[in-house]
Structure 1
Amino acid sequence: MKKYVHILALLGAALTLTACGNLKNSDLANNAKTSSNSKAKTYQTTDTGRNGYTVLLKDGHYITSPISGLTATDNDNSVDTRELERGLVQISKDVYSTNSNVFQEGQYISAAMANDWLGRKSKANPLGLNPEEGTKKNYNPYYLEEILEQDYLAGSGSNYHINGMSIGLAMNSVDYYQKTKDGAEYQDTISRSEQKAAGQKAAEQIIARLRQRKALKNVPITVGLFSKSAKDSLVGGTYFLSGTAAANSSKITKWKSISAQTEVLPTVGNKKAINSSDASSFNSFKASIQDYFPNISGVTATLRYENGKLSQENISITTQFYGYEQVQSFTRLVLSTAKKYLPDNVPVEIKIGSVNDIQALVAKETADSSYQVHIYGGE
């Protein structure tokens, strides 16, 4: 297995969970008991963002998951990472209230467990959730590529306890393999029906195994099935199915379809945009800033749609200038142009940067918030 470090994705997930990074001591810090044999831990939480989860910290530290970045193969596509995390948080909001639960990255599935589960099933690894390889003529693909765990805790004072868990299962849409060592690479396209069948089977097995843990016997466990994009795709994957096993149950009795799409603008070739009006707005924005500042290498946008409606627009602008006043002036132009052309009813994030680093960020985190501007190394 290979473990990837996704720093930008982690930052993106943090923005999703909370709009503010300020810490405040909870009652846990005052109520923590001490003993002669161990040092008492103190707990803090981040301030709650608008419609987001408060994040539980221990001794002032953000607790990361031991399985973050573990994958079954080297077929990983980094554009999937942020959406895998963000999408699972959004699914969880329908199950675990942001008012009565705090967020913590998963702590129950260990790296050793995840490595076994992501492997192929065999005599040596009976816990593998991917099928045996098969033969050269009848090759079985890797269906399950990655497992993500998120924990939702409830309580007060020193009595926070696990109240629910969400599991994201990233299912390959394309499996890449070699028939001989160092040989040619082949591709096996995996249909949505195959993803669904393999994902639901893996979900039930994982839930049954988690129920063996005493702390997890009586909590809901939510599972989201995520379709990974091809490794050369510029568009990230999306969740397509979710369901919850009630407390004391290892079965998900009802699965809910999720309608989500992503696209990159400008489109390539003759491909039509999902929404011509959104594409037209972006093109007007792009043309306006390129006319004003010709030294721009590229302007691209990633749009996310949920149930046919635009829910997020992220724009990346690559510049060829580095002067302080140039960056200041250009950022002000981007802000005014965004207000003029981009939709005002969805979150928007605009990153301005050179090839080597980010120079400025213009963003509004929610549909009804105002744009915020930060110039790196500036005012």
Structure 2
Amino acid sequence: MKKLLAVSLSSALLLAGCAPSLNSDEQVVQKKDTKQAETGIMTKNQISADYYKTVLPYKASKSRGLVVSNINSRYDINELESGLMRVSQQNYSPDNYLFQEGQYLTTETLTKWLDRSSDKNKDGLNPKDNGKSGDQRAPIYLAHILEQDYLKETDKNTVGLGGISIALAMNSVDYYQKVKYGATYEQNISDSTLLAQGKEMAATVLSRIRATKGLDSVPVTIAIYKQGKRDGVVPGNFIAMTTANGSDLGKWKTIDEKTYVLPSADAKSDHKTDNTSFEDFKADIEKYYPNYTGVVGRARYEDGEMAELNIDIPLQFYGEAEIIGFTQYVTDLIGKHLSTNAAIQVNITTTDGTAALITRKANDNTPTAHIFD
């Protein structure tokens, strides 16, 4: 029997779901102000302890699509979303909370917040245009705001909003045009300025959240994200977080994360052993399989240690036997060269799409491979 659950909140937000501890075969109903209820089905399986369960039908964010126009690259979009989930796990454990895309901050609201402050838009979080150029120009500091909601069991067989996470995506480089359709200029923003602006904006965002119906006391986690450059091949990273249980922000905590391309000069300088291991991994592939166009790794580090490594290997051959043999060989090389401390994912692709996927969990010696038909 599927997990059916009717739930709601006293606020304008309607949530459907059940906490992981709820009886999987029990149908429950929670009343709400309008005396209506909404049924939902909790996803049964959890891919791993690092992922949250969700509720079906899946509710898209109230600001859906805005992130694509505001964030510089697909790398940054993915890291912003998945990284905020990692940050959220410090307060909202996947064992006790369900994930819901943001249901409070709408496209209209965020568009106003992300704009410059002006006589017509008092809600703008970015500074007023001072009419100057170059280093004297007042840059756009805040590129995007991402909301994630986390549900938990509030009473027997009922759930409600247990916490909200907010990511403030800050520009490390502000791209602008002096005239419409003219040349694009760059204005660099220092880490110290970026962080200071982010903290100041976080206080304002919290006060606005507290003024929203139903959100006056819910825990709010706010994290500051440093966005990468437009032409970057790796994403930016989260640099600080705090949690507020009341009207004031808590103590800020530094987040030590960074993503590197492997192999690269930066990785060689900061993580020489890992960079050398990856070069050996790449060299062994080149030695026996010349029909490929390159091996690129993106390694994410937490507190100076590799936590995750994603590798892309594009191939020029299409024979199934070759793909099988190549996948088996790469699987062997993972155990030979790459650290067991990091979670690893290898995508082997051809012009037709993904040909094979190899994964290995952190602190595990056994990779798993899947070859697509």
Q: Same fold (TM over 0.5)?
A: yes
Q: Secondary structure in 2 aligned to 1:223?
A: strand
Q: Secondary structure in 1 aligned to 2:39?
A: coil
CA–CA separation in structure 1 for the residues paired with 2:180 and 2:65: 25
- Structure 1 counterpart of 2:290: 294
Change (3 A) 1:38 1:167: closer
Structure 1 residue 48 corresponds to structure 2 residue 46: yes
Give 1:244 deviation, angstroms. 0.7
Give 1:27 deviation, angstroms. 4.7
Q: Secondary structure in 1 aligned to 2:100?
A: strand
Give 1:145 deviation, angstroms. 0.7
Quick check: 1:149–1:168 contact (8 Å CA) kept in 2?
yes
Quick check: 1:176–1:187 contact (8 Å CA) kept in 2?
yes
Correspondence list, 1:142-181, <5 A: 142-155=140-153, 158-181=157-180
Structure 1 residue 192 corresponds to structure 2 residue 222: no
Give 1:299 deviation, angstroms. 0.3
CA–CA separation in structure 2 for the residues paired with 1:254 and 1:105: 26
Structure 1 residue 79 corresponds to structure 2 residue 79: no
Change (3 A) 1:75 1:317: same
1:125 counterpart (105, 112, 121)? 121
Structure 1 residue ranges, 4+ long, deviating more than 4 angstroms after superposition: 23-29, 37-40, 71-75
- Structure 2 counterpart of 1:5: none
Change (3 A) 1:80 1:369: farther
Q: Secondary structure in 2 aligned to 1:321?
A: coil
Quick check: 2:28–2:158 contact (8 Å CA) kept in 1?
no
Identity %: 35
CA–CA separation in structure 1 for the residues paired with 2:315 and 2:241: 40
Quick check: 1:28–1:43 contact (8 Å CA) kept in 2?
no
- Structure 1 counterpart of 2:254: 257
Give 1:154 deviation, angstroms. 0.8
Q: Secondary structure in 2 aligned to 1:367?
A: coil
Alignment RMSD (CA, Å): 2.6
CA–CA separation in structure 2 for the residues paired with 1:47 and 1:315: 26
Letter of the 2:235 partner, please give it: G
Letter of the 1:203 partner, please give it: A
Change (3 A) 1:102 1:75: closer
Letter of the 1:205 partner, please give it: T
Give 1:111 deviation, angstroms. 1.4
CA–CA separation in structure 2 for the residues paired with 1:28 and 1:218: 32
Change (3 A) 1:364 1:188: same
CA–CA separation in structure 2 for the residues paired with 1:143 and 1:56: 33
- Structure 1 counterpart of 2:91: 95
Give 1:71 deviation, angstroms. 4.6
Give 1:39 deviation, angstroms. 7.9
- TM-score, length-normalised on structure 2? 0.86
Correspondence list, 1:354-365, <5 A: 354-365=350-361
Quick check: 2:21–2:96 contact (8 Å CA) kept in 1?
no
CA–CA separation in structure 2 for the residues paired with 1:144 and 1:173: 10
Give 1:278 deviation, angstroms. 0.5
CA–CA separation in structure 1 for the residues paired with 2:219 and 2:36: 32
Structure 2 residue runs of 5 or longer lacking an equivalent are: 1-19
Quick check: 2:55–2:98 contact (8 Å CA) kept in 1?
no
Change (3 A) 1:117 1:148: same
Quick check: 1:142–1:172 contact (8 Å CA) kept in 2?
yes
Change (3 A) 1:271 1:88: closer
Correspondence list, 1:337-376, <5 A: 337-368=333-364, 370-376=366-372
Cα distance per residue 1:268-295 (max 9 Å; x no partner)? 5x87342111111111111111211110
- TM-score, length-normalised on structure 1? 0.85
Give 1:241 deviation, angstroms. 0.6
1:309 counterpart (302, 305, 312)? 305
Give 1:243 deviation, angstroms. 0.5
CA–CA separation in structure 2 for the residues paired with 1:213 and 1:220: 13
Cα distance per residue 1:82-139 (max 9 Å; x no partner)? 2112221121111123322222121111111111111111122211111122213442
Answer with 226-235 or 114-123: which moved more: 114-123
1:266 counterpart (239, 263, 267)? 263
Give 1:373 deviation, angstroms. 1.3
Quick check: 2:148–2:165 contact (8 Å CA) kept in 1?
yes
User: Number of aligned pairs?
Assistant: 349
Change (3 A) 1:33 1:303: closer
Cα distance per residue 1:286-345 (max 9 Å; x no partner)? 111121111010101011111111111111101101111111111111111111111112
Correspondence list, 1:185-224, <5 A: 185-224=184-223
Quick check: 2:299–2:306 contact (8 Å CA) kept in 1?
yes
CA–CA separation in structure 2 for the residues paired with 1:277 and 1:297: 24
Q: Secondary structure in 2 aligned to 1:41?
A: strand
Cα distance per residue 1:185-222 (max 9 Å; x no partner)? 11000011111121112111111111122321111100
Quick check: 2:227–2:237 contact (8 Å CA) kept in 1?
yes
